[in-house]
Chain A
Amino acid sequence: QLQLQESGPGLVKPSETLSLTCTVSGGSISSSSYYWGWIRQPPGKGLEWIGSIYYSGSTYYNPSLKSRVTISVDTSKNQFSLKLSSVTAADTAVYYCASSGYSRRDLDYWGQGTLVTVSS
Protein backbone atom coordinates (compact mmCIF):
# COMPACT_ATOMS: atom_id res chain seq x y z
CA GLN A 1 0.00 0.00 0.00
CA LEU A 2 1.35 3.40 -0.96
CA GLN A 3 2.25 5.98 1.64
CA LEU A 4 2.88 9.63 0.80
CA GLN A 5 4.47 12.28 3.01
CA GLU A 6 4.78 16.00 2.33
CA SER A 7 7.73 18.02 3.59
CA GLY A 8 8.86 21.61 3.33
CA PRO A 9 8.77 25.01 5.04
CA GLY A 10 5.59 25.94 6.86
CA LEU A 11 6.14 29.66 6.40
CA VAL A 12 6.94 31.49 3.18
CA LYS A 13 7.28 35.23 2.63
CA PRO A 14 5.12 37.07 0.08
CA SER A 15 6.62 37.18 -3.42
CA GLU A 16 8.90 34.23 -2.67
CA THR A 17 8.67 30.65 -3.94
CA LEU A 18 6.87 27.89 -2.05
CA SER A 19 8.69 24.55 -2.32
CA LEU A 20 7.33 21.20 -1.15
CA THR A 21 8.41 17.61 -1.64
CA CYS A 22 6.34 14.44 -1.49
CA THR A 23 8.12 11.20 -0.61
CA VAL A 24 6.45 8.00 -1.80
CA SER A 25 6.94 4.69 0.01
CA GLY A 26 5.41 1.27 -0.42
CA GLY A 27 5.71 1.46 -4.20
CA SER A 28 7.69 2.92 -7.06
CA ILE A 29 7.09 6.40 -8.37
CA SER A 30 8.16 4.99 -11.74
CA SER A 31 5.07 2.83 -11.90
CA SER A 32 3.24 3.23 -15.19
CA SER A 33 -0.04 2.88 -13.29
CA TYR A 34 0.06 6.19 -11.45
CA TYR A 35 0.13 9.91 -11.84
CA TRP A 36 1.30 11.99 -8.90
CA GLY A 37 -0.53 15.14 -7.92
CA TRP A 38 -0.70 18.16 -5.68
CA ILE A 39 -3.98 19.47 -4.22
CA ARG A 40 -4.44 22.39 -1.85
CA GLN A 41 -7.13 23.58 0.54
CA PRO A 42 -7.21 27.14 1.93
CA PRO A 43 -8.41 27.35 5.54
CA GLY A 44 -12.15 26.74 5.70
CA LYS A 45 -12.47 26.29 1.93
CA GLY A 46 -12.68 23.50 -0.63
CA LEU A 47 -10.16 21.41 -2.52
CA GLU A 48 -8.24 22.73 -5.52
CA TRP A 49 -6.21 20.55 -7.87
CA ILE A 50 -2.85 22.21 -8.56
CA GLY A 51 -1.27 19.80 -11.01
CA SER A 52 -0.01 16.31 -11.73
CA ILE A 53 3.08 14.60 -13.10
CA TYR A 54 3.85 11.23 -14.67
CA TYR A 55 7.11 9.42 -13.92
CA SER A 56 8.30 10.27 -17.44
CA GLY A 57 8.15 13.95 -16.49
CA SER A 58 4.96 14.88 -18.35
CA THR A 59 3.16 17.60 -16.41
CA TYR A 60 -0.40 18.90 -16.27
CA TYR A 61 -1.34 22.09 -14.45
CA ASN A 62 -4.47 23.92 -13.31
CA PRO A 63 -4.86 26.76 -15.83
CA SER A 64 -5.46 29.23 -13.00
CA LEU A 65 -2.01 28.50 -11.52
CA LYS A 66 -0.07 27.40 -14.58
CA SER A 67 2.09 30.52 -14.88
CA ARG A 68 3.43 30.05 -11.33
CA VAL A 69 3.61 26.27 -10.88
CA THR A 70 6.35 23.77 -11.57
CA ILE A 71 6.05 20.10 -10.65
CA SER A 72 9.03 17.79 -11.03
CA VAL A 73 9.87 14.16 -10.28
CA ASP A 74 13.03 12.52 -8.93
CA THR A 75 12.72 8.81 -9.59
CA SER A 76 16.03 8.04 -7.86
CA LYS A 77 14.63 9.36 -4.58
CA ASN A 78 11.02 8.24 -5.16
CA GLN A 79 9.92 11.83 -4.74
CA PHE A 80 8.05 14.52 -6.60
CA SER A 81 8.07 18.22 -5.86
CA LEU A 82 6.01 21.38 -6.14
CA LYS A 83 7.24 24.91 -6.67
CA LEU A 84 4.81 27.83 -6.61
CA SER A 85 6.33 31.21 -7.34
CA SER A 86 5.35 34.76 -6.42
CA VAL A 87 3.16 33.65 -3.54
CA THR A 88 0.64 35.87 -1.78
CA ALA A 89 -1.56 35.41 1.27
CA ALA A 90 -4.12 33.76 -1.03
CA ASP A 91 -1.73 30.82 -1.39
CA THR A 92 -1.96 30.04 2.32
CA ALA A 93 -3.39 26.53 2.45
CA VAL A 94 -2.93 22.94 3.45
CA TYR A 95 -1.05 21.28 0.60
CA TYR A 96 -1.62 17.59 -0.08
CA CYS A 97 0.18 15.20 -2.36
CA ALA A 98 -1.75 12.23 -3.72
CA SER A 99 -1.59 9.38 -6.20
CA SER A 100 -4.08 8.97 -9.01
CA GLY A 101 -4.40 5.65 -10.73
CA TYR A 102 -4.34 5.65 -14.53
CA SER A 103 -7.17 3.15 -14.87
CA ARG A 104 -9.57 4.43 -12.22
CA ARG A 105 -8.67 8.13 -12.34
CA ASP A 106 -9.35 8.75 -8.67
CA LEU A 107 -7.07 9.95 -5.86
CA ASP A 108 -6.66 6.80 -3.84
CA TYR A 109 -3.70 7.57 -1.59
CA TRP A 110 -3.08 10.92 0.09
CA GLY A 111 -0.41 12.42 2.27
CA GLN A 112 -1.46 13.85 5.60
CA GLY A 113 -1.12 17.41 4.30
CA THR A 114 1.11 20.28 5.34
CA LEU A 115 0.02 23.81 6.19
CA VAL A 116 1.92 26.52 4.37
CA THR A 117 1.37 30.07 5.57
CA VAL A 118 2.37 33.04 3.43
CA SER A 119 3.29 35.92 5.69
CA SER A 120 6.07 38.39 6.25
Chain B
Amino acid sequence: DIQMTQSPSSVSASVGDRVTITCRASQGISSWLAWYQQKPGKAPKLLIYAASSLQSGVPSRFSGSGSGTDFTLTISSLQPEDFATYYCQQANSFPRLTFGGGTKVEIK
Protein backbone atom coordinates (compact mmCIF):
# COMPACT_ATOMS: atom_id res chain seq x y z
CA ASP B 1 0.00 0.00 0.00
CA ILE B 2 1.12 3.55 -0.72
CA GLN B 3 1.62 5.69 2.39
CA MET B 4 1.38 9.48 2.31
CA THR B 5 3.33 11.59 4.82
CA GLN B 6 2.52 15.27 5.24
CA SER B 7 4.70 17.84 6.96
CA PRO B 8 4.47 19.82 9.05
CA SER B 9 1.47 18.55 10.99
CA SER B 10 0.71 22.13 11.94
CA VAL B 11 2.00 25.57 11.02
CA SER B 12 1.40 28.99 12.57
CA ALA B 13 1.38 31.86 10.12
CA SER B 14 0.15 35.42 9.71
CA VAL B 15 -2.07 36.95 7.08
CA GLY B 16 0.06 37.70 4.04
CA ASP B 17 2.62 34.99 4.75
CA ARG B 18 3.73 32.43 2.21
CA VAL B 19 2.93 28.93 3.44
CA THR B 20 4.32 25.69 2.06
CA ILE B 21 3.06 22.20 2.90
CA THR B 22 4.86 19.04 1.82
CA CYS B 23 3.50 15.60 0.99
CA ARG B 24 5.72 12.59 0.40
CA ALA B 25 4.61 9.26 -1.09
CA SER B 26 6.17 5.97 -0.04
CA GLN B 27 6.61 5.09 -3.71
CA GLY B 28 6.34 6.96 -6.99
CA ILE B 29 2.84 8.12 -7.88
CA SER B 30 3.60 10.10 -11.04
CA SER B 31 1.40 13.22 -10.79
CA TRP B 32 -1.62 11.50 -9.28
CA LEU B 33 -1.94 13.78 -6.28
CA ALA B 34 -4.75 16.03 -5.08
CA TRP B 35 -4.95 18.61 -2.31
CA TYR B 36 -8.00 19.44 -0.20
CA GLN B 37 -8.92 22.16 2.27
CA GLN B 38 -11.17 21.34 5.20
CA LYS B 39 -12.75 23.78 7.63
CA PRO B 40 -14.32 22.68 10.94
CA GLY B 41 -17.64 20.94 10.50
CA LYS B 42 -17.41 20.97 6.72
CA ALA B 43 -16.61 18.45 4.01
CA PRO B 44 -13.19 18.70 2.37
CA LYS B 45 -12.97 20.95 -0.68
CA LEU B 46 -10.84 20.08 -3.70
CA LEU B 47 -8.11 22.67 -4.38
CA ILE B 48 -5.58 21.02 -6.68
CA TYR B 49 -5.72 17.90 -8.85
CA ALA B 50 -3.08 16.12 -10.90
CA ALA B 51 -0.43 17.68 -8.63
CA SER B 52 -0.56 21.16 -10.15
CA SER B 53 -3.95 21.82 -11.77
CA LEU B 54 -6.11 24.39 -10.02
CA GLN B 55 -9.71 23.35 -9.48
CA SER B 56 -12.24 25.74 -10.98
CA GLY B 57 -13.15 28.58 -8.63
CA VAL B 58 -10.10 28.17 -6.37
CA PRO B 59 -8.07 31.37 -5.89
CA SER B 60 -4.79 31.58 -7.78
CA ARG B 61 -2.81 32.09 -4.55
CA PHE B 62 -3.02 28.31 -4.20
CA SER B 63 -0.57 26.29 -6.26
CA GLY B 64 0.75 22.76 -6.35
CA SER B 65 3.94 21.22 -7.65
CA GLY B 66 5.88 17.99 -7.71
CA SER B 67 5.89 14.55 -9.24
CA GLY B 68 7.09 11.09 -8.31
CA THR B 69 7.29 11.04 -4.52
CA ASP B 70 7.58 14.67 -3.40
CA PHE B 71 4.82 17.26 -3.67
CA THR B 72 4.16 20.76 -2.39
CA LEU B 73 1.11 22.91 -1.79
CA THR B 74 1.88 26.63 -1.60
CA ILE B 75 -0.34 29.47 -0.47
CA SER B 76 1.39 32.56 -1.80
CA SER B 77 -0.25 35.14 0.48
CA LEU B 78 -2.29 33.69 3.33
CA GLN B 79 -5.78 35.13 3.71
CA PRO B 80 -8.04 34.93 6.79
CA GLU B 81 -10.30 32.39 5.07
CA ASP B 82 -7.32 30.07 4.45
CA PHE B 83 -6.96 29.03 8.07
CA ALA B 84 -7.98 25.39 7.84
CA THR B 85 -6.60 21.86 7.63
CA TYR B 86 -5.09 20.66 4.36
CA TYR B 87 -4.86 17.07 3.13
CA CYS B 88 -3.06 15.43 0.26
CA GLN B 89 -4.44 12.33 -1.47
CA GLN B 90 -2.71 9.93 -3.83
CA ALA B 91 -4.55 8.28 -6.71
CA ASN B 92 -1.81 6.28 -8.41
CA SER B 93 -3.59 3.13 -7.26
CA PHE B 94 -7.01 4.52 -8.28
CA PRO B 95 -9.73 3.78 -7.44
CA ARG B 96 -7.91 2.88 -4.24
CA LEU B 97 -7.03 6.15 -2.50
CA THR B 98 -4.83 7.19 0.42
CA PHE B 99 -4.78 10.45 2.33
CA GLY B 100 -1.98 12.18 4.13
CA GLY B 101 -2.34 12.89 7.83
CA GLY B 102 -3.24 16.55 7.39
CA THR B 103 -1.63 19.93 8.08
CA LYS B 104 -3.42 22.48 10.24
CA VAL B 105 -2.73 26.09 9.31
CA GLU B 106 -3.26 28.23 12.39
CA ILE B 107 -3.21 31.94 13.10
CA LYS B 108 0.07 33.22 14.52
Residues of chain A touching chain B, judged by Cβ–Cβ distance below 8 Å, are 35, 37, 39, 46-49, 52, 54, 60, 62-63, 96, 98, 100, 104-108, 110-113
Contacts and interface: CB of A to CB of B under 8 A. Distances in A.
Given A47-B87, A63-B1, A100-B94, A106 B99 contact: no
Contacts of B44: 47, 96, 107, 110
B95 to A, nearest CB: 4
B7 interface: no
Given A46-B87, A47-B87, A106-B89, A35 B95 contact: yes
Interface string B19-56: 00000000000001010101000111110011001010
A106 B98 CA distance: 11
Interface of B: 1, 32, 34, 36, 38, 42-46, 49-50, 53, 55, 87, 89, 91, 94-102
A60 B96 contact: yes
Contact of A108 (B55, B97, B100): B55
Contacts of B42: 112
A39 to B, nearest CB: 8
A24 to B, nearest CB: 15
26 contacts: A35-B95, A37-B97, A46-B99, A47-B36, A47-B38, A47-B89, A47-B99, A48-B99, A49-B96, A52-B96, A60-B95, A60-B96, A96-B44, A98-B43, A100-B91, A104-B53, A105-B91, A105-B94, A106-B89, A107-B97, A108-B49, A110-B45, A111-B43, A112-B42, A112-B43, A113-B43
A40 B97 CA distance: 13
